[in-house]
Structure 1
């Protein structure tokens, strides 16, 4: 994983639970380009690595903007970024990666839940600059639960923003956005937020006649596996050397390969970031990542080494 050092150029509170952080190049030069929907890894003390979506428009390369929600069950990531990160401090980050790309469409319906607004805000800013119409629906319990509230209320020239607060009786469970009732073949739906929220968005869109191929989503947490934790062992063969490794029920492919000193690129280790996606030469995977689309998973071209397993007795990997 290629990394670079950046400096904390600004911090801003977005309600009590969210902290906006701007990261600028230490030399003042423009940062590497990215597309809307991209994220970066932030490398923290103690070996912690956390992924955060970029909220700024791709045209703004003087800094990267992330928003961090304080997690009461934090293992150190959000707690450090909320309580210890200071202005001027330097941190190491990865180059931007993108598994939530903004595909071409005539119009867009963006649906955000809480801090899920961050990649969708980058998309909205990019679409606004390009003059492409969109509607952004943003859901939260109350005003303090929605980051970038002031920006959202200022609005956009080419897009509409609709705020929904469940504390005021306006929730996705109560009523879906009006646009769901009139499916449009030339539009795409992008959603980001808690998994249950996105499941509701998917179900509502499909119920009203949208096609599954028109829906894009990004997860912030790993899905609970519906496969038993104790699985049969399987084999992994490395195409370059022919070496074969047995993957036992209680270990991941990545763990076994690392123990054998086979280089494996890892970051989130939850199937969320795509760092460990590896090409499959032969065999079929039991996909458990949240990076690949359903179509990509059906193709069995790649596997996430950190979490996925095998359907076939052996996988041949491009390693």
Structure 2
């Protein structure tokens, strides 16, 4: 974890605040567009937010947080109780939404989904690549960074205020793309589903707020062996690997508990995990908040 202090917290759109975090012990860890960090909030919750500032600024991180009306306690705490000057621990940046090298980009943002795409747009424009941002929101006042993006990038930005001029035609946008263009999309699930159906699969990249609903076989019990401690933990059907390990005293940091943030990633030494995450676990790793086992046991580097 990194020690930070809240430098500024200020409203930037309806129900959205920007939080600037200054490193308390010197420069912060570097990051690339698409990365996010975990905020360890004082109410014992851990929440993930995309970094939306300038990757060249090692003194500060910036995130933007929308106050969700059905908040599970994270966004509500940020909006109601966080204040400038408060110390806050944050994780090292993780990036499950990396920017591929391409000559042309289309960025599609829905509401608060602008946060990972803002530094992406900055990066590719500075690199001289062709870029367009399509930014969709229910009202202009609810779209963070909209005025700044228009002022900075002009005609590269197309705003769609759904209450006034409807939604973008993704089919038409797909026909405008060059053959090597990559599409990056972040926003609510219906928008992502429509975009995914319209754009070429191999060049479409999306970051979702919630996992895609999928069906798996029934849970089977298995053993989790902690290689370093020698402890064997029984994981019954209906109990996640993460909960079983935590209850046995093997404390694993976790955030979303839905397989989308990656904060609980652990190493698998032996056995075959059943990956149920939305990230795409690398070889030899799994996310125990959702992953189970296809073998009778998993040996973990714990």
TM-score (norm 2): 0.90
Partners of 1:57 and 1:123 within 8 A in 2: no
- Displacement of 1:177 after TM fit? 6.2
Within the candidate set 164, 185, 188, 1:191 is matched to 185
Change (3 A) 1:119 1:56: same
Matched residue SS, 1:23: strand
Instruction: Write the mapping of 1:130-145 to structure 2, written as runs, cut at 5 A.
Output: 130-145=127-142
Alignment of 1:84-233 (within 5 A): 84-156=81-153, 160-172=156-168, 175-176=169-170, 178-205=172-199, 210=200, 212-227=201-216, 231-233=219-221
Any stretches of 5+ residues in structure 1 without a counterpart? none
Residue 310 of structure 1, aligned match among 268, 288, 293: 293
The alpha-carbon deviation at position 282 of structure 1 amounts to 4.4
Structure 2 unmatched runs, 5+: none
Structure 1 residue 265: deviation in Å?
3.6
Deviates more, 1:126-135 or 1:102-111: 126-135
Equivalent residues, number: 302
Q: 1:142 to 1:303 in 2, by over 3 A?
A: same
8 Å CA contact retained: 1:239, 1:316: yes
CA contact (8 A) 1:22 1:65 kept: yes
Instruction: Give SS of 1:125's match.
Output: helix
Task: Sort the Cα spacing of 1:90 and 1:262 in 2 relative to 1 into closer, same or farther, 3 A.
Answer: closer
**Match among 20, 23, 26 for residue 24 of structure 2:** 26
- The superposition leaves residues 286-314 of structure 1 with CA deviations (integer Å, 9 ceiling, x where unpaired) of 32222227xx5xxx642211112233443
| Superposition deviation, residue 213 in structure 1 | 2.4
Residue 86 of structure 1 deviates from its aligned partner by: 1.8
The answer for the alignment partner of 1:65 in structure 2 is 62
Contact 2:258–2:289 under 8 Å retained in 1 = yes
* 1:62-115 C-alpha deviation (Å, 9 max, x unpaired): 321111001111122111211222222222211222111112112211111110
CA contact (8 A) 2:170 2:194 kept: no
Q: 1:177 to 1:57 in 2, by over 3 A?
A: farther
* Partner Cα separation in structure 2 for residue 178 and residue 306 of structure 1: 39
Structure 2: distance between partners of 1:11 and 1:93: 16
The answer to whether the Cα contact below 8 Å between 1:38 and 1:99 also exists between their aligned partners in 2 is yes
Matched, 1:50 2:47: yes
Q: Which shifted more, 215-224 or 177-186? A: 177-186
Q: Secondary structure at the match of 1:117?
A: helix
* SS at structure 2 position matched to 1:72: coil
Residues 46 and 254 of structure 2 are in contact (CA less than 8 Å); yes or no, is this contact kept in structure 1?
Answer: no
Cα-to-partner distance string for 1:3-25 (whole Å, 9 max, x where unaligned): 32x22222332222211111112
Partner residue of 2:10? 12
Distance 1:152 1:278 in 2: 38
* 1:90–1:318 distance in 2 versus 1, CA, 3 Å: closer
| RMSD over equivalenced CA pairs, Å | 2.4
SS at match of 1:47: coil
Distance across 2 between alignment mates of 1:87 and 1:115? 22
The answer on whether the counterparts of 1:192 and 1:219 sit within 8 Å (CA) in structure 2 is yes
